[in-house]
Amino acid sequence: MSTKSIPLSSYQIRLLAVLALINFVNFAARQVFVPLIPLLRGHLHVTDAELGSLQTFLLIVLAVASVPFGFLADRFSRKAIIAVGILFWSVATFAGGLASGFIFFLIARAVVGLGEAAYAPAAQSMISGVFPQERRAIAQAIFATGMLLGGLAVTCSRHPRAALRLADCPLRRRLRRNPSRHCAV
């Protein structure tokens, strides 16, 4: 290993900043419904077990789909795979805000997991391809920090109002129109 520091190009810095920011949104999209559980219980008329299965199902889809998307990222355009992943989880997060039934919301959460499964392997492969071996560990650490800060943002906004502001999802507008049908926000 060389003791001489290799300077990063502006492209490497921009790429890492964008991927870390996307990773922030990625994890926030995964976690944003957690503070909304009291509202969702009444809105979707579901049990605690059903609400718990939402995150479980997302994680199962994420785990199972990550390997095939890793395979695809090794063979096809990583930029295209990342774009498709972002599109999937963004549309699914928005659609989840429109959900009026449990099954629709469960499917939306699964598609969030599918989009996240496309993003992570392609982004990590892109980082490995752009950064020299001497800088890959710190680049991957910065990338991972984006995800952790996204989770922290949602954790710090455990109050339903803060979570709704963070997501600004369609459910927020529905709750404003008819707040008496839902838990106090």
Full set of structural domains in the chain with CATH = 10-181 (1.20.1250.20)
User: What are the residue ranges of helices labelled H in 32-159?
Assistant: 37-44, 48-75, 78-98, 102-130, 133-156
Whether residue 31 contacts residue 151, with contact meaning beta carbons closer than 8 Å, is answered with yes
Q: Per-residue pLDDT tens for 95-137? A: 888 888 899 999 999 999 999 999 999 999 999 999 999 899 9
Rg (CA), the chain: 18
CA distances to 16, 80, 107 from 10, rounded to whole Å, are 10, 22, 40
CA distances to 58, 105, 107, 149, 181 from 22, rounded to whole Å, are 18, 23, 22, 11, 34
Amino acid 27 reads F
142 or 30, greater pLDDT: 142
Q: Per-residue pLDDT tens for 61-97? A: 999 999 999 999 999 999 999 999 999 988 998 888 8
Please name the residue that has the structure tokens 């999802």: 169
Using CA atoms, how far apart are residues 53 and 179, in angstroms rounded to an integer? 26
Query: How many other β-carbons are positioned within 10 Å of the β-carbon of residue 51?
Result: 19
Regarding pTM above 0.85, the answer is: no
Amino acid 162 reads A
